[in-house]
Amino acid sequence: MSAVGIRLEGISKRFAHRVKGEVYAVRDVSLTVQPAELLTLLGPSGCGKTTTLRMIAGFEQPDAGRVFIGEQDVTGLMANQRNIGFVFQNYALFPHLSVFENVAYGLRVQRQPEQEIARAVGDVLALVGLQGYDRQFPNQLSGGEQQRVALARAIVIRPRVLLFDEPLSNLDAKLRVHMRGELRELQQRLRISAVYVTHDQEEAMAISDRIAVMHQGQIVQEGTAESLYRHPGSEFVAQFIGRTNLLSGRVRSAGPGEIELEVAGQHLRLPGDAERATAGQILRLVVRPEVIELRPADSPDGIAGTIVSRTFLGEKAEYQVRVGADLLQVTSYNPVQRGLFTVGQPVRLHFPAEGIQLLPGGPA
């Protein structure tokens, strides 16, 4: 069976809100998941990512738009007619059924022969590393084991797509990292398209082929983890993916290949596109903590600042540096060799041009 993709065409979902009246949980979302791709819907809680996932599954009906799985329009189909595998945040195991019966449930619904069920369930339990757990009940399992049962139950029916609703959020940190590796490996082995919902940007970056960042019911940016990190299209994405410093700068002059900005009352020359800026315009600078280089106060160029705090973490040191009224995060890797700065010490901050993303507008 070759993998099929998913396509959303302008789907919207409204809910009646007690105070605000009708509100859009999801507004005009269009999205394509390539066959065998793992796409993550990433966003803060209430951004509509779970509602989007539930519309793909058929647990919610969109008020507008269409849902395609492969080439089939499934918009009007109930969840039980879509042939999907869904993994719930709380696993939703059937508490009165054994592990075997939980996994066999979907096959029994399909009225598969008993022999086939036993074989398929045995195979999939082996696949998720749960041999010998057949007779256990869900309440006898640890969180990680329950997670595996939920996964086995979802994939045993050979669904066309796999849908994950924050499947790892009930596990502790270490297990979470381990299980996301397993999930990813399994998804690639089965070559099955998957949509994964999470609010954890690190998890999203670790597991996904592509990430769609959602905010207030809409997709604000799509791309690989790297492209989202390096070229955030908005302050929201910049702040949601990784840590970031946001600075305002006024364009003083825009010459060929170089922009001169006034940042925190000081001048900063950046090599960059003159076409993107005109003199007097306010720009926002997205500066990742690890691209800023701290240099001694007597070095040329850069912006003057003062070290406010220092956290030494071995492979890196994290500084807070006061620049004018702003407090910047600066991460310095390999600090033992590169030298540590002390609190209260004046420094100069050097911004390498390729590490800075300029965004239009914002408060001056």
Partner 1 sequence: MTSIAAARTDGWRRTLRDPALFVTVFILWALLALFILFPLAKLLARTFLDGGQITLGNLVAILRDVNHRQAFWNSLLLAALVGLCGTVLGFVYAFAAVRANLSRAWITVLDAASLLPLISPPFTTAIAMIYSFGPRGLITYHLLGIKGFTVYGLHSTLFSETLTYFPIAYLTLKPILAGIDPNVEDMAFSLGSSRWRVFRTVTLPLTVPGLANAFLLLFAASLADFATPLILAGNSFPVLPTQAYLQITGLFDLKGGAVLSFVLLVPALVVYLLQRFWVSRKYYVTITGKVGAQTTIKSLAPWARAPLLGACLLLAGVVLYFYVLLFYASVVVALGANHAWTWRHYQVIFTEGLKAIRDTLVIAGAGMPLGGLYGILLGYLVAKKIFPGRQAMEIVSMINYALPGTIVGIAYLIAFNDPPIVLTGTALIIVACYVFRYSPTGIRATVALLQQIDPSIEEASQGLGAGSGTTFRRITLPLILPAFFAGLGVVFIRSMTAISATIFLVSINWTLITVRILENMTELSLGPAAAFSVLVVVIVFAVIVAISGLLRRFRTPGAVDMTSILGG
Q: Which residues are at the interface with partner 1 (CB under 8 A)?
A: 16, 21-22, 57-59, 78-81, 83-86, 88-90, 92-96, 105-106, 109-110, 139, 153-154, 157
Shortest distance in whole angstroms from residue 107 CB to partner 1: 9
CA geometry: angle 93, 119, 138, nearest 5 deg: 20
271-to-255, 258, 279 alpha-carbon distances in Å: 9, 4, 15
CB of 46 to partner 1, least distance (A): 18
Cα–Cα distance between 89 and 169 in angstroms, integer?
7
Supply the minimum distance, in Å, between the C-beta of residue 59 and partner 1.
Answer: 5
Can you tell me the distance from the alpha carbon of 13 to that of 55, in angstroms, rounded to the nearest whole number?
A: 9
From the CB of 90, what's the least distance to partner 1, in Å?
6
Q: Provide the minimum distance between the beta carbon of 110 and partner 1 in the complex, in angstroms, as a whole number.
A: 6
Of 24 and 59, which CB lies nearer to partner 1 in the complex structure? 59
Q: Shortest distance, CB of residue 36 to partner 1, whole angstroms?
A: 21
The DSSP annotation for 129-141 comes to T-TT-TT--GGGS
Least Å distance, CB 205 to partner 1, is 27
Sign of the C-alpha dihedral computed for residues 103, 106, 108 and 111 taken in this order: negative
Q: What are the start-end ranges of the H helices in 8-113? A: 49-57, 99-109
Nearer to partner 1 among residue 24 and residue 88 (C-beta): 88
192 token code pair: 């099955």
The residue among 138 and 249 lying less far from partner 1, judged by its C-beta, is 138
User: What whole-number distance in Å separates Cα of residue 58 and Cα of residue 52?
Assistant: 10
Tokens matching residue 262: 């006034």
Q: DSSP characters for 153-175? A: HHHTT--SEEEEESTTTTS-HHH
Rounded to the nearest whole angstrom, what is the least distance from the CB of residue 296 to partner 1 in the complex?
46
| Residue 82 or 199 with smaller CB distance to partner 1 | 82
DSSP code at position 249: E
In terms of CB distance, is 14 or 269 closer to partner 1?
14
- Closer of 78 and 297 to partner 1 (Cβ): 78
Q: Least CB distance from residue 231 to partner 1, whole Å?
A: 37
H or E element: which one contains 314? Answer: none
- Residue closer to partner 1 (CB basis): 141 or 263: 141
Residue 95 vs 257, nearer CB to partner 1:
95
Instruction: Name the one residue in this structure whose structure tokens are 């409204």.
Output: 14
**DSSP character at residue 209:** S
Show the DSSP H helices in the chain as ranges: 49-57, 99-109, 114-127, 143-155, 173-190, 201-207, 225-230, 235-240, 335-338
* CA 226 remoteness from chain centre: 12
Q: Which of residues 76 and 181 has its CB atom nearest to partner 1 in the complex?
A: 76
Coil vs helix vs strand at 17: strand
